[in-house]
Structure 1
Amino acid sequence: MQKNIINTPQAPAPIGPYSQAVQAGPLLFISGQVAFEPATGNLMTSDIPTETRQVMENLKAILLEAGLDFNHVVKTTIFLSDMANFSAVNEVYGQYFTDAFPARETVAVKGLPRNVNVEISMIAAV
């Protein structure tokens, strides 16, 4: 099976040895995104809604680079530094989908890269 690497300057460059996304057959696997603003490289962590919105915009940019949108997303994983942020993250996250929501899990973790509060990864069907 051939795999296609997806990268766009409209989303933050990886901060390690990984790609923004990899398309393998009919599936697109998007690496976990945090709230880096691509234009400045700054973390947008002033509050949870702002942070979540930046994460979702980064994911949107990668989807668009692959010729997809949120309607193609079949699975997401949300990592939170604190489950107390669940409602605020959920509210912003839900604004990016129609009623055909993808499957999802949300987990609290001890720490995230650069001490952010939210990281989200996705799988989309091409």
Structure 2
Amino acid sequence: MNNAISTEKAPAAIGPYSQAVKAGDTIYVSGQLPIDPATGAFASDDITAQTRQSLTNIRSILEAAGTDMSKVVKTTVLLKSIADFAAMNEVYAQFFSEPYPARAAFQVAALPKDALVEIECVAVL
């Protein structure tokens, strides 16, 4: 049985989806835009701050699910510009330690609300 996970410490879904879903011992976190849940606005207009906010949102959702960043096994990073890869990677490295999760990173044509980054993940309990 699937159970929705939600927290006010991360932005509410902007469509018909859950912040995360628990299925068995696995947590699937929806793509997190860099929205500050306190203001409803982007944390900033630069990739460093936006990456930090997206990952902070993920951390908050995982905590609400009863797990943490050390239990993330896979991430997907969507970038508006692949030129931001190095700057995103510097911030990303501050949220994870070895063994690092598996990851895919893509440049996409556009992201919701014209964000610079969106990150999703899969974690275990």
Q: TM-score range by the shorter chain?
A: over 0.9
Aligned to 1:49: 48
- Distance between the aligned counterparts of 1:74 and 1:17, measured in 2? 25
Name the % identity: 47
Note the C-alpha offset of 1:46.
2.3
How many matched pairs? 125
Aligned to 2:18: 19
Aligned to 2:86: 87
- Distance between the aligned counterparts of 2:28 and 2:15, measured in 1? 16
- Distance between the aligned counterparts of 1:27 and 1:84, measured in 2? 32
Note the C-alpha offset of 1:18.
0.2
- Distance between the aligned counterparts of 1:17 and 1:45, measured in 2? 26
Which structure 2 segments of 5+ residues have no match? none
TM-score (norm: length of structure 2): 0.98
* 2:63 paired with 1:76: no
- Tell me the SS of whatever aligns to 2:52: helix
Pairwise CA RMSD of aligned residues?
0.7
The answer to whether the 8 Å contact 1:45/1:116 transfers is no
- Distance between the aligned counterparts of 2:108 and 2:44, measured in 1? 17
- Tell me the SS of whatever aligns to 1:75: strand
Aligned to 1:30: 29
Structure-to-structure mapping, 1:56-75, within 5 angstroms = 56-75=55-74
Which structure 1 segments of 5+ residues have no match? none
| Runs of 4+ with >3 A deviation | none
- Tell me the SS of whatever aligns to 1:95: helix
